[in-house]
Amino acid sequence: MSRVEIDARTEELLGNSNSFYVQQQIQWLDAVSQGCISQKNKYHVFDKDTNVLIMIIKEESGDCNRCCCNPCHSLFAKFYLVDEAGKATGTPVLTLERDGCDCGQPSPKPCLCCFACTENCSDRGIIYAGDFGEAAVPGMSAVRDKSTMIGETRQPLKGGGFHPVLQIMERDESDPEPSNIQFAAARGPRCFGGMSELCCNVEFGASKAKPDMGVDEIHKLEFDYASITKVKPASFSQAVREAFTDVDIYVVAFEEEDVTPQQKANFLGTMIMMEYMFFERSNDICRYDGRYFHLTFFNCFCYGCVCPCKLVFDTQAGN
């Protein structure tokens, strides 16, 4: 089976770039409401070397699911090319579908965002060439036509233990049926998020990986193939934004020259998956719920579950 073709302009842009700068856009209603009204995410993708905007990624998801189940909800992340004015143009050239935990049906991952014990609580996102059409509903990847499938990002059972692991998979060209095969794996730090994000980058290193390589073997790799880095604030204003919104900045960089455009598309899909799995947490640094003030120092990863290490102050103590 031949490699899945993507839009010619998209293939050119991805092929010519070895480093991407991805900036999440501020959604003001989300920021002002401190996450009570969760808006759809939007990302600008730049060629880091030239600082030219090359793509815009837009989330599509159900309003109820996004407000009540965020960040574990099902969604589409649709990739658009841009015109000379920097606006998204045409139909999506790539679509990532993330199966999640939703308020109603289909809710394909009802136990997501907990310990990754079974397939129902292990994260997964599949990336396709093109679009599904306006009638498509997120969370139904099991019934999609896989003929345009490029690859996927999969969280292994147990999540990687005490370090998060993501298996990055591409289309298996040797299989006559549409299926994916592991070609790389990314591993992140044990602790991240909270106040630590104000002064530390969070890097997920990636390495080439054999198709049958398990988690124990992945942990022993060198992780010198590529990296996905959540960038720390570079100024006071960025630090304020980091503290009071869930807006993030990423750099996706490749150390080798022989990465195909399809593989780069897979890595961008992995970055989006990382955003929702680990960093799309409203008020991750500080939160006030009417009585208790929560101050999170950092989050610890444990077998798929993100556990905050924090102090909680009772503002009404002694009253």
Distance from chain centroid for Cα 194: 18
Residue 191: pLDDT band (50, 70, 90) is very high
Rounded average pLDDT over 38-48? 91
Rounded average pLDDT over 160-176? 93
pLDDT score of 228 more than 50 = yes
pLDDT score of 47 more than 70 = yes
Residues pairing with 102 in the sheet: none
Rounded average pLDDT over 172-185? 91
What does the mean pLDDT of the chain come to? 90
Q: What is the pLDDT of residue 174?
A: 84
Spatial CA neighbour of 247 closest among 46, 91, 79, 28: 28
Rounded average pLDDT over 57-77? 92
List of E strands, the chain: 19-24, 42-47, 52-60, 75-82, 88-98, 124-129, 149-154, 165-171, 180-187, 191-192, 202-208, 226-230, 249-254, 286-288, 292-302, 305-314
Residue 3: pLDDT band (50, 70, 90) is confident
Largest CA distance in the chain: 71
Residue 32: pLDDT band (50, 70, 90) is low
Rounded average pLDDT over 2-24? 92
Domain ranges of the chain: 8-282
* CB-count burial class (<10 Å; 0-12, 13-18, 19+) for 31: middle
Rounded average pLDDT over 147-157? 96
pLDDT score of 175 more than 90 = no
pLDDT score of 241 more than 80 = no
pLDDT score of 1 more than 50 = no
Separation of alpha carbons 2 and 258, rounded Å: 18
pLDDT score of 229 more than 70 = yes
Q: What is the pLDDT of residue 140?
A: 92
Min mean pLDDT across 20-29, 212-221, 244-253, 286-295 is at 20-29
Q: What is the pLDDT of residue 37?
A: 57
Rounded average pLDDT over 85-112? 92
Structure token digits, residue 264: 């780069």
